[in-house]
Amino acid sequence: MRVLLHGSELSAATASAALAWVGHQVDWLLHESAPWPVLSNVDWLRREPELMTHIEQALESGTLRIIDAVEQADTPEVVWLALSPDQRQSGYDLLQHPLFQTHSGAVLINNSTFPVGETERLHVLMGDQHSSVALPDTLEEGRAWASFTRPLRWLLGCDDATGEQVTRELLRAFNRRSEVFQRMPCRAAELTKLAINGMLATRISYMNEIAGLADTLGVDVEHVRQGMGADTRIGFEYLYPGCGFGGPNFSRDLMRLADVQSASGRYSALLEQVMDINEQKKETLFRKLWSFFEGDLAGKTIAIWGAAFKPGTARIDHAPVLTLLEALWAQGANVQLHDPAATPALRALVGQRNDLTTFEQDPYLACEGADALMLVTEWKTYWNPDWHRLASLLSAKLVLDGRNIYDPAFVASCGLRYRGIGRRADPTTL
């Protein structure tokens, strides 16, 4: 099929490469905010596993073309929008192009992170001679290629048979199991995407609340987590307490869901609490550090492992580390931070600072001369450190585990002091 794809988001890059990979002819119209010379060099794209390789292969084979204007595109059978909420006008402008007034029969696939009901509004702009489909973005950063080409599900929102038929054919190479597609009306698909992320965020925040209560009561939250997860009505997914979640899509979807509630005249106290708990949890490691040093953090050097909002990505959007850094700097602490991917994004955001040193290669360099270590992002390289080496590097021998990936008793047996999120190295002490 001939596809005109518009956007510069991760979803646009992934769809462009994947559709071209399976034989579709894709004309990729980048958003003006990120032309190819800029986009091709951003860390979050270059570090996404497999993606740049497939983009380059598709460009070389000719199944993917990067264009600067609609006029350069072949007459499309499919128009795929993958834009962020603040780029809606760009989508409006594209769909009102004279091309779609003279050419009928194109199918609009809205893969953008737009408000509920936007696919219907876009359809009106494009005209009734075309079909429209809502295909909410369900990519997972850090494994975008895998989640697109081997999807667990597609939320397919469509109100006519033509849109469904064309979309199924377009994505047939990635849908060998019929149950991958979950068809429903457009608005239902858009709301379902937000509802899923709202539920996941609620589980995380609830578990973080339980971890705080476990801390107060002298209970190891790991026992509680295992007991809850063993109940088949609950399960283990997204039941891990930590120092808060972030990311461009997860946080944005929560805000969009809250906006939908507000616009409909319904106030959601639950969503407000979920977001408030998450912001408070981003301060948890700082509060534990403050308590350990009895408020005297001026001049202390704190090592941090991990800046990205999740392993496998270079992005720091709404990442817990940002809240943590501001709190540490406000108290006069110096930070030595290691992250294998996200330090360029962090430097771009905070600039050059005398109280921040960053490392990308050896994580132990961040610990040299440090008083304590904070684990913020659970990159695999951090899971099994040389504990005796850490004990020799950290003057206060303090490890604060923001993701509960370590065994408290084992860490303590190596001569270190352990603080986790509701975890306990010694059940007899707080």
pLDDT of residue 258: 76
Look at the pTM and tell me if it is higher than 0.85.
Answer: yes
* Domain 2-184 indexed as CATH 3.30.70.20: no
Cα–Cα nearest to 81, from 68, 72, 90: 90
The arithmetic mean of pLDDT across residues 3-10, rounded, is 96
The arithmetic mean of pLDDT across residues 280-296, rounded, is 95
- Residue at 51: amino acid letter: L
The arithmetic mean of pLDDT across residues 115-141, rounded, is 91
Cα–Cα nearest to 183, from 135, 131, 114: 135
pLDDT of residue 427: 45
pLDDT tens readout for residues 299-357: 999 999 999 999 999 999 999 999 999 999 999 999 999 999 999 999 999 999 999 99
CB distance 425 to 222 below 8 Å: no
112: which DSSP letter?
S
Taking the C-alpha atoms of residue 249 and residue 317, their distance in angstroms, rounded to an integer, is 9
Determine the distance from the C-alpha atom of residue 151 to the mean position of all C-alpha atoms in its chain, rounded to a whole number: 17
Taking the C-alpha atoms of residue 389 and residue 407, their distance in angstroms, rounded to an integer, is 17
Per-residue CA distances from 293 to 33, 302, 326, 371, 411 (Å): 46, 12, 18, 10, 20
Taking the C-alpha atoms of residue 405 and residue 385, their distance in angstroms, rounded to an integer, is 11
Per-residue CA distances from 39 to 19, 274, 353 (Å): 19, 33, 27
Which residues are paired to 154 by β-bridges? 181
Q: Is the pLDDT of residue 251 over 60?
A: yes
- Of the pLDDT bands very low, low, confident and very high (cuts 50, 70, 90), residue 204 is very high
Per-residue CA distances from 260 to 115, 116, 117, 266, 267 (Å): 8, 7, 10, 8, 10
pLDDT of residue 289: 97
- Of the pLDDT bands very low, low, confident and very high (cuts 50, 70, 90), residue 250 is confident
Higher pLDDT, 290 or 253: 290
| Distant-in-sequence, close-in-space partners of 251: CB < 8 Å, separation ≥ 6 | 245, 317, 318
CATH of domain 200-419: 3.40.50.720
Q: Give the DSSP H or E segment for 209.
A: helix 186-217
- Quick count: other Cβ atoms within 10 Å of Cβ 158? 25
Query: 337 by DSSP, 3-state: which?
Result: strand
pLDDT tens readout for residues 346-377: 999 999 999 999 999 999 999 999 999 999 99
CB distance 277 to 209 below 8 Å: yes
- Of the pLDDT bands very low, low, confident and very high (cuts 50, 70, 90), residue 268 is confident
Percentages helix, strand, coil for the chain (3-state, rounded to 5) are 45, 15, 40
Count CA within 13 A, CB hemisphere, residue 300. 26
Task: Dig out the tokens for 110 from the structure.
Answer: 């809205």
pLDDT of residue 426: 57
pLDDT tens readout for residues 156-202: 999 889 999 999 999 999 987 667 889 999 999 999 999 999 999 99
CB distance 19 to 42 below 8 Å: no
pLDDT of residue 413: 95
pLDDT tens readout for residues 64-119: 999 999 889 989 999 999 999 889 999 999 999 888 887 888 999 999 988 899 99
Domain segments of the chain as ranges: 2-184, 200-419
Taking the C-alpha atoms of residue 401 and residue 410, their distance in angstroms, rounded to an integer, is 13
CB distance 313 to 280 below 8 Å: no
- Of the pLDDT bands very low, low, confident and very high (cuts 50, 70, 90), residue 212 is very high
Task: Dig out the tokens for 215 from the structure.
Answer: 């801390």
Taking the C-alpha atoms of residue 53 and residue 48, their distance in angstroms, rounded to an integer, is 10
The arithmetic mean of pLDDT across residues 219-225, rounded, is 95
- Rounded to 10 degrees, the C-alpha dihedral 381/383/388/392 comes to 60
- Of the pLDDT bands very low, low, confident and very high (cuts 50, 70, 90), residue 261 is confident
Query: 131 by DSSP, 3-state: which?
Result: strand
- How many residues comprise the chain? 430
Average model confidence (pLDDT) across the chain = 92
pLDDT of residue 308: 96
Q: Helices 343-350 and 320-330 sit at what angle, rounded to 10 degrees?
A: 50
Domain 2-184 matches domain 200-419 at the CATH topology level = yes
Largest CA distance in the chain: 77
CB distance 347 to 316 below 8 Å: no
- Of the pLDDT bands very low, low, confident and very high (cuts 50, 70, 90), residue 429 is very low
DSSP alpha helices (H): ranges in 43-115? 43-46, 51-61, 88-95, 99-102
pLDDT of residue 428: 42
| Distant-in-sequence, close-in-space partners of 283: CB < 8 Å, separation ≥ 6 | 323, 324, 327
Taking the C-alpha atoms of residue 335 and residue 370, their distance in angstroms, rounded to an integer, is 8
